[in-house]
Structure 1
C-alpha cells in the first residue's frame, strides 16, 4: 500500500494532469519486418530439433539464423521466462527495456526483439502467436510481457525473512546457461538478463501502478513462434509459479514442461538478410 500524499494539490493540479501524453519513441520510421515474407516460407518447414524444458527448471537450445523456433504448451497452463543471446557472442543479448520502448509492454505478432547496446538490432521476429486473440482485458492485462524481471532468489530472500529457494527462474536460467556453455555458476550468472515472459498474463494496476499477474490463458497446443534474425542461443525456465495465478516461486503450484521446436524453412524469406549491428559510430561526441 502506497502512503497517502502529504502535499496539497496546487491550484492548477487538474490542468497539469490533463496534459496529453506523447509517445516517447515515434516508430513510424522504424524498419518493420515484412511479416508476409516470413509467413510465406512457413509452409513445409522441416522440424530439425526439439528441447523439453522441465517444470521448475530450465534448458538451452541453439537456432541458426534463418530458422524458426516455437515455444509450445504441451500438458497444461505454464509460463516460461525466456533469455536470448547471440550464439557467437554472449555479450549481445535481449534488451527488454528497448524492446518494450519500441513495441509496448507486451509483444506479439510482427513485433521484433532487440539486443542490448551497443548492438541494438532485431535478433528475433514473432511470426505466429496462437494467443493473439487475447489483446488487453478489462484489468489491463495481456500476454507475453517485457516488463517483468524474472523471479529470483534474492528478492525471495528479501521478502521471506531470509528463506533460500533455488528454483526461481533466475537460478534455473543460471544453471542451464552454465551447463550449456561450460561456465561456472558465478561466470554464468551475470549473463542472465530480464526476460520475455512467454504466456504470462500481466499488467499494471490502475490504482497503484503495481505490476500484477493473473492466470495465464495458455492451453495445450498454444505456441509462440519466432524467426531467428541472427544465430541465437535460447535459454528458458518453466516458471515454478506454473500459470502464475497465485505466486511466482512455489513448490505447491501445478507446473508443466514446455516444448521448444526448431524448424528449417525450405528457403529464406524473400529479400531477407541478417540485421547489421547498429550503425552509430560510438564517438559519443568526442
Structure 2
C-alpha cells in the first residue's frame, strides 16, 4: 500500500553524484591538429565472432571503423606496461553518463584512475538519445559471456565476446587463457545502441545505427594494449551469443602524429590521492 506522501517522495529532484565542473578537460583542438598530419602505422581486422588485439603508444591514435555491414564491437583496454591497470567502465559511466561520445574520456581502474584514452571523433555523435531512451557507445553493459549463456540457455558457446577477448589477450600478452581471463573486464560497447526500459528498468539493445564508414576515434593518453571483439550478435538488433545473426568484421587502424605536433603534452600521471591516509 502506498503511503500518503508517495507522490511527494517521488517528486524529490535528483542530484548528480559526481559533478564534473572541476574535471580536467582534454585539449581536443591540440589532438585534432596532431591527428590532421598523422601517418598511418598499422591496421588489423577483428573477424566476425572473433577478436583482435592492438597496441597504441601514448600520444598516438586508434580508430575503429565499420567496414562491411552494421556491427557492434566490445572493447577492452589495458596499460600496456601493467595489465592490472585497465579500463573502468563503471567510473567512466559515473563521470560521463551511460553512453560516451566526442570529448569523453575512458578512465582506468583504481588506484590509478586516470584517462587512458580520449574520444576525439565519433561519426555517430548525431544520434543522441532516441525515443526509446537508446543511445550509442554504452558503458552500462558488460559483454556477452559463455557463463550467462549457459545459465539462460543451457548451452556452451565459445564465441561470446568474453571468450574472444580472452583468446586475443592471451596471444598478445603471452599469457595462458587461465591467466588472461581475470584480466578481461567490462567493456565499451562500441556502436551498440542500448538503454533501460522505463517500465521494468531492464537493459535493452536495438539494431545499431552504425553503417559502413562510421567510426570512433580515440587518442591514447597512456601506452595501450587493446582488444576488440566483433560481437556474435552483429548489430545486436535481435540477439547475441549466437551463430544466427549476420556478422561483419571491424577495422582497427593506428596513427602516429608528427614528432612536434603534441608539443607540451604529457601523459597523465596516476591519480594524486595519497593512499597512506588509509
Could you say which TM-score interval applies, normalised by the shorter chain? Answer: over 0.9
- 1:5 is matched with none
Distance 1:268 1:274, change over 3 A: farther
Runs of at least 5 residues in structure 1 that lack an aligned partner in the other structure: 1-7
Per the TM alignment, residue 270 of structure 1 is displaced from its structure 2 partner at its CA by 4.7
Q: What is the SS of the residue equivalent to 1:255?
A: coil
* CA distance in 2 between partners of 1:44 and 1:90 (Å): 31
1:112-138 Cα offsets, whole Å, 9 max, x none, are: 010000010001000000000100100
Q: Is 1:33 matched with 2:26? A: yes
1:224 paired to 2:224: no
Residue 60 in 1 paired to residue 53 in 2?
yes
Alpha-carbon shift at residue 44 of structure 1 (Å): 2.1
Q: What residue in structure 2 maps to residue 117 of structure 1? A: 110
Partner of residue 126 from structure 1, selected from 119, 125, 134: 119
CA contact (8 A) 2:48 2:230 kept: yes
How far the C-alpha of 1:35 sits from its partner, in A, is: 1.1
- Residues 1:69 and 2:62 are matched in the alignment: yes
CA distance in 1, matches of 2:21, 2:261: 26
Match of 2:41 in 1: 48
Equivalent residue for 1:4?
Answer: none
Is the contact made by 1:66 and 1:268 (CA closer than 8 Å) also made in structure 2? Answer: no
Aligned to 2:193: 201
Give the TM-score of the pair, scaled to structure 1: 0.95
Q: Does 1:237 align with 2:232?
A: no
Deviation string 1:193-213 (CA, Å, 9 cap, x unpaired) is 000000000001111111000
- Are the counterparts in 2 of residues 142 and 201 from structure 1 also a CA contact under 8 Å? yes
Residue 146 (structure 1) aligned with residue 139 (structure 2):
yes
The Cα RMSD (Å) is 0.8
Alignment of 1:1-286 (within 5 A): 8-160=1-153, 162-266=154-258, 267-285=260-278
The C-alpha deviation readout for 1:79-132, integer Å capped at 9, x for no partner, is 000000000000000000000000000000000010000010001000000000
CA distance in 1, matches of 2:198, 2:261: 44
| Greater helix share, structure number | 2
For 2:207 and 2:233, locate their aligned partners in 1 and report how far apart those are by CA, in whole Å. Answer: 10
Residue 59 of structure 1, CA deviation:
0.8
TM-score in terms of structure 2 length: 0.98
Following TM superposition, by how much is the alpha carbon of 1:269 offset from its aligned partner in structure 2, in angstroms?
3.1
CA distance in 2, matches of 1:202, 1:269: 35
Unaligned runs of 5+ in 2: none
